[in-house]
Amino acid sequence: MKRALIKIWGDVVDAMELVFSILIISTTTMGLYFLAPQSDTLPLGLFFGLGGAIIGFIITIFLFKPKRIVTYEEEE
């Protein structure tokens, strides 16, 4: 399938990769949230969920590449 590049929120994304990023990060976030042990003193669910979000974020950074061509201006 031909990739669909889309402009959203000021930058270019690949539509399928965006869908997968949302799915992956949502899964790790909610997954860890549900795995959190019960606690009366600390909001462990929130901590675990946030940890999951960061894990998912890192996974997608390795999976997908930015749709930007970045170069330095020629130094004279």
Give the contacts of 44 (CB within 8 A, at least 6 positions apart). Answer: 36, 37, 38
Tell me which of 1, 7, 37, 39 binds other proteins, using CB under 8 A: 7
Q: How many CB atoms lie within 10 A of CB 64?
A: 16
Q: How many CB atoms lie within 10 A of CB 50?
A: 14
Tell me which of 1, 9, 37, 38 binds other proteins, using CB under 8 A: 9
* Number of amino acids touching other proteins (CB under 8 A): 50
Tell me which of 8, 37, 38, 40 binds other proteins, using CB under 8 A: 8
- Taking the CA atoms of 43, 44, 48 and 54 in sequence, report the sign of the dihedral they define: positive
Site for other proteins in 21-60 (CB under 8 A): 21-22, 24-26, 28-30, 33, 42-43, 45-47, 49-50, 52-53, 56-57, 60
